[in-house]
Structure 1
Amino acid sequence: MLKHSLAASAVALLAASPALADNPVPEGVELAEEQSYTFWLLDAIKSMDPQINTDVEGSDILRNLFEGLYNEDAQGALVPGVATDHTVSDDQKTYTFTLREDAQWSNGDPVTAGDFVYAWQRLADPATASEYAWYMELMQIENAAEIIAGDVEPSELGVRAVDDHTLEVTITTPLPYFPQMVVHASTFPVHQATIEEHGDNWTRPENMVGNGAYVLDEHILGERVEMSKSGTYWDAENVVMENLTALTINDVNQALTRYLAGELDRVDIPAGQFPRLKEEYPDQATSTPYSCSYIYMMNVGDKGPEALNDVNVRKALAYAIDRDIIVDRILQGGQEPSYNWTHWATAGFERPDLDWADWSQEERLEKAKELMAEAGYSPDDPLELSLQYNTSEDHKKIAIAASQMLKAIGVNITLSNYEWKVHTDRMQSQDFDLARYAWCGDYNEASTYLDLFTSYSGHNNGEFFNDEYDAVMAESKTAEDPLPMYQEAERILAAEMPIIPIYHYANVDMLSPEIGGIPTENVMQTWYGKDLYRMAE
């Protein structure tokens, strides 16, 4: 879908969509008596608060406990959520969403436009200290930047409740992909009275009030999340799956063992095992493009190592990594080697020509050695750096391989493994040299990647600040065709190299043949429990 026509297309799509969803079960499918789905999480969920969560796995949970204005279907097209449709003003700066009158919170209260106003103001409010506050700025919401900076009160955010069922949003710059952005969990409504009563404890199962298809029954941090079908959800009669269970298992090999034992319905396939599992279980092992990019972020800020201030050192580190070995010999699951940041399957994106991407690995390695020698380093006089990664056997394998590759150019790498919360906390406080990082798109458009390295980004943990980069991304917001700006942003990243691109993801899964409704055609891999069903054996 062309980016410049997306907003109008979304309106047409939603206008044609029924206010009530259809039952997701195809005709002729026999359902199992027990409707339950158990899936795997690698890490503990840091927060069940939509405005605080930053993790992909957390978003998978939140999409079931809460519902935003729109959802996505199996192909990634927008479908009604709390909103049934919207209109756009002639200047493309005012969106008016019509909210359904039958949407309810799990305590029976009606979901209103005021709930969205409260949530969005809360997201932007510096007092919330959300890492995703910048998302309001990315959405170009009026006064968002000023509120985040603390110069304007949150009540001045460009969002208002015209009445209980009409939400008006004012943005400062036309964004053709704006409707896509409201599927992100940070924009979900929250129940103000519950938060005011319970404070930080509002996300506990006994306190939580949500508006999604499921309610939270149990959350044992780092162990399990239990959810059951909500009786107050507006489309409860078409929700087939009764119970959702997420199990946190830090060892992906152990998770696979538990899948094969029937304890899990879906699990990631460990690195290197897809070919074998595809042969043994052809109807269960799958690999599809997934909008995430895997990198090593370099700390180029004041707290980072002095050596990384040298762009030639940064380029040498990137050039020395043999991505083909990582993808073809370690991962073996359909991932693509990457020499840039934005995932190759992102809608409307084309990677610009980057010289180093076209070199042979031998040429890259020789150039890396040359640049390191110019900087005063060699295998006999090596540069000492640390590389941290979060707990995962796959991350460990890649880190070990990368450390060996870097050793050849005169870099000694000390590997440090941390559990997810510690890993991310250290990155946010710039307490790292190199760190494993992955970013999954918040929506299917290149800006979801490229905005991350702007100076106003809430996730620019390596503190790469570049005025030219900021200017290019600012220009992209008003361009009729932003692709040239996106390509220029990628060229700046290649010239300055604040990251080491490693690979572009594929979703490499084992999926029980009894589970129906899992989307595979949407590069965002967005799924909703309300769309799932378990078939009889």
Structure 2
Amino acid sequence: MLAAPALAGGHIPADVTLAEDQTFTYRQLDEFSSVDPGVVEDVSGSEMVRDLFEGLMSQDADGNLVPGVATHFEANDDNTVYTFTLRDNAKWSNGDPVTAGDFVYAWQRAASPALASPYQWYIELMSIENGSAVIKGDKPLSDLGVKAINDTTLQVTLSAPLPYFPQMVTHGTTFPVHKATIEAHGSDWTKPGNIVSNGAYVLTEHLPNERSVRERNPMYWDDANTTIDKTVALVINDENVALTRFLAGELDRTEIPAGQFPRLKEEYPGVAISFPRLCNYYYTFNLSDSGPEVFKDVRVRKALALAVDRKIITENVLAGGQPQAYTFTPAAVAEFTPPETEMAKMAQAERDAMAKELLAEAGFGPNNPLQFDMIYNTSDGHKKIAVAMTQMWKQKLGVEATLANMEWKVFLETRGNQDFELARGAWCGDYNEASTFLDLLDSESGYNDGKFVNADVDGLLEQAKLSTDASSLYTQVEQIIAEEMPIIPIYHYAGVYMMDSDVGNWPVGNVEQNWYSKDLYKIAE
């Protein structure tokens, strides 16, 4: 298997006149988790990591694989050994060559118990040979199934055949890191002035919770085909403030506030846009030992899921083209059609009636109302959805849910430590295959924050890794989720943005929304 050749730089049409100032400025909701490829765990951080670092493979504007540091790859007959050939002109920002050994070091580091990365499980998910044992500390890092044959040849051995493995190496966890820089600076290695990266940009400024700046890396192998000189990310917690700043010309891109897309589409045609994204939005029950006993009752979980009127949320609260969700996996996933669940077939009145019956059977009613706490990370949109859900439950079922919002990093820690009862969740696919979503509900997943455990789900997901056509297995997993309801699917994402008309080549056709500043350009107005 060979990767198709492609230019890394964004194609600029002949009739386009470029702006003199090639600065792209966009809004982030929260401070990113990290720009360390081995540690980053959120969308905002991953956007930055894709600019600062480059992995073996990248994606084009439609989500197709294109060469990154690797010019091409080959697989053996059963897809258990992948060999990547690296370009010989890839350099770090300090001028050092990027070698296969840099990838070996980065992957071993991501798997190491010492780093304890929140994304450590991704190495195991990739089915890299001995990944599980290395992560647990039962085998040394050197036993991980990745080795440098020479400086430009990287060989990866898998414990199971994964035909979609090349898609997985577009994810930040698999990007190389500069060993000497990490050893010299420790945890401060990602700070401006210290960081050495191999992507199209270098980090030149970072003011936590305010702004970060990345500027062109002259050592990048394809710098000649890069147009954007500087990308600025501004942290703006209030989406309405962000919209005001966009309309004032301070931003090139921002998310449209919940419910405002229809109006803005009329007022700013071509600037207000909506397109499918490979992400889901849900609430997860804490089913761990520390979770409330009431949520151990599947009747309670089902009742709450049934009583959520998703149409009101998608059409009235959000109004941005988001599809209602009755499965965990979005329909936008390649080669997968989510099954139509029993809940999806019912009218909302029927769902409400069943919810009342189930909650009554579980022992809750007017004289014994169900009570619990639910948390979400600070955002006006998340608040509106949470308020709508609690009002639906209160009016239909007499449920008393207490809301609490948290700053992003505190929220991640609270949810990850199972210090919650019901918590907002969202996931954007790390690659375009159903397992990127369903593996979150594997009992061993590092992001199974609700600690749902189901042996049948684990078994089906394990079978899927060995199957040439896993669609029927994924369907069975979705059916179990619909029966057990460890999570409440709410909707599947759309990219609902205000996008300045002078931004060229934004990848609306890439459902993963893996965008790279090097592929963009600013048009003269």
- Fold in common (TM above 0.5): yes
Q: 1:194 aligns with which of 181, 201, 205?
A: 181
For residues 352 and 266 of structure 1, what CA distance do their matches in structure 2 show? 35
| Residue of structure 2 in register with 1:157 after alignment | 144
Specify the code of the residue in structure 2 equivalent to 1:532. Answer: L
**Do the aligned partners of 1:76 and 1:523 also contact (CA within 8 Å) in 2?**
yes
| Residue of structure 1 in register with 2:105 after alignment | 118
| Residue of structure 1 in register with 2:413 after alignment | 425
| Residue of structure 2 in register with 1:467 after alignment | 455
| Residue of structure 1 in register with 2:198 after alignment | 211
For residues 206 and 13 of structure 2, what CA distance do their matches in structure 1 show? 32
1:121-200 alignment, distance < 5 Å = 121-200=108-187
Q: 1:55 aligns with which of 30, 36, 42?
A: 42
| Residue of structure 2 in register with 1:3 after alignment | none
Superimposed CA distance per residue, residues 294-323 of structure 1 (whole angstroms, 9 cap, x where no aligned partner): 001110111100100001101111001000
**Do the aligned partners of 1:117 and 1:159 also contact (CA within 8 Å) in 2?**
yes
**Do the aligned partners of 2:10 and 2:518 also contact (CA within 8 Å) in 1?**
no
**Do the aligned partners of 1:336 and 1:504 also contact (CA within 8 Å) in 2?**
yes
CA positional deviation for 1:381: 1.6
Superimposed CA distance per residue, residues 88-140 of structure 1 (whole angstroms, 9 cap, x where no aligned partner): 11232111100000000000000000000000001111111111111111111
For residues 283 and 412 of structure 1, what CA distance do their matches in structure 2 show? 43
**CA 1:122–1:335 in 2, change beyond 3 Å: closer, same or farther?**
same
Superimposed CA distance per residue, residues 169-205 of structure 1 (whole angstroms, 9 cap, x where no aligned partner): 0001111111000000111000001001111010111
For residues 424 and 133 of structure 1, what CA distance do their matches in structure 2 show? 16
For residues 484 and 495 of structure 1, what CA distance do their matches in structure 2 show? 17
Q: 1:436 aligns with which of 408, 417, 424?
A: 424
For residues 145 and 19 of structure 2, what CA distance do their matches in structure 1 show? 47
For residues 359 and 412 of structure 1, what CA distance do their matches in structure 2 show? 25
**Do the aligned partners of 2:145 and 2:158 also contact (CA within 8 Å) in 1?**
yes
Secondary structure of the corresponding residue to residue 477 of structure 1? helix
Give yes or no for the alignment of 1:72 onto 2:30.
no
| Residue of structure 1 in register with 2:341 after alignment | 354
For residues 467 and 201 of structure 2, what CA distance do their matches in structure 1 show? 41
TM-score normalised to structure 1 length: 0.97
Q: 2:221 aligns with which of 234, 248, 272?
A: 234
For residues 514 and 72 of structure 1, what CA distance do their matches in structure 2 show? 22
Q: 1:305 aligns with which of 292, 303, 325?
A: 292
**Do the aligned partners of 2:226 and 2:519 also contact (CA within 8 Å) in 1?**
yes
Give yes or no for the alignment of 1:99 onto 2:60.
no
Specify the code of the residue in structure 2 equivalent to 1:248. Answer: V
Specify the code of the residue in structure 1 equivalent to 2:440. Answer: L
1:134-533 alignment, distance < 5 Å = 134-407=121-394, 408-533=396-521
For residues 510 and 226 of structure 1, what CA distance do their matches in structure 2 show? 21
CA positional deviation for 1:353: 3.0
CA-atom RMSD, angstroms? 0.9
Report % sequence identity. Answer: 56
Secondary structure of the corresponding residue to residue 114 of structure 2? helix
Secondary structure of the corresponding residue to residue 336 of structure 1? coil
**Do the aligned partners of 1:381 and 1:410 also contact (CA within 8 Å) in 2?**
no
CA positional deviation for 1:24: 2.4
Secondary structure of the corresponding residue to residue 334 of structure 1? coil
Task: Report how many residues are paired.
Answer: 524
CA positional deviation for 1:22: 5.1
Give yes or no for the alignment of 1:42 onto 2:26.
no
For residues 57 and 93 of structure 1, what CA distance do their matches in structure 2 show? 32
**CA 1:261–1:22 in 2, change beyond 3 Å: closer, same or farther?**
closer
Specify the code of the residue in structure 1 equivalent to 2:45. Answer: G
For residues 298 and 87 of structure 1, what CA distance do their matches in structure 2 show? 42
CA positional deviation for 1:380: 3.3
For residues 42 and 431 of structure 1, what CA distance do their matches in structure 2 show? 23
Secondary structure of the corresponding residue to residue 189 of structure 2? helix
For residues 421 and 207 of structure 2, what CA distance do their matches in structure 1 show? 33
**CA 1:460–1:36 in 2, change beyond 3 Å: closer, same or farther?**
same
Q: Once superposed, which parts of structure 1, at least 4 consecutive aligned residues long, lie more than 4 Å away?
A: none
For residues 473 and 378 of structure 1, what CA distance do their matches in structure 2 show? 38
Specify the code of the residue in structure 2 equivalent to 1:426. Answer: T
Specify the code of the residue in structure 1 equivalent to 2:282. Answer: I
**Do the aligned partners of 1:383 and 1:412 also contact (CA within 8 Å) in 2?**
yes
Specify the code of the residue in structure 2 equivalent to 1:87. Answer: E
Specify the code of the residue in structure 2 equivalent to 1:153. Answer: P
Superimposed CA distance per residue, residues 458-486 of structure 1 (whole angstroms, 9 cap, x where no aligned partner): 10010001111100100111112100110
Secondary structure of the corresponding residue to residue 122 of structure 1? helix
Superimposed CA distance per residue, residues 208-242 of structure 1 (whole angstroms, 9 cap, x where no aligned partner): 00000000001111110101101000000111110
For residues 237 and 442 of structure 1, what CA distance do their matches in structure 2 show? 29
CA positional deviation for 1:23: 5.5
TM-score normalised to structure 2 length: 0.99
CA positional deviation for 1:525: 1.3
Unaligned runs of 5+ in 1: 1-7
For residues 132 and 460 of structure 2, what CA distance do their matches in structure 1 show? 18
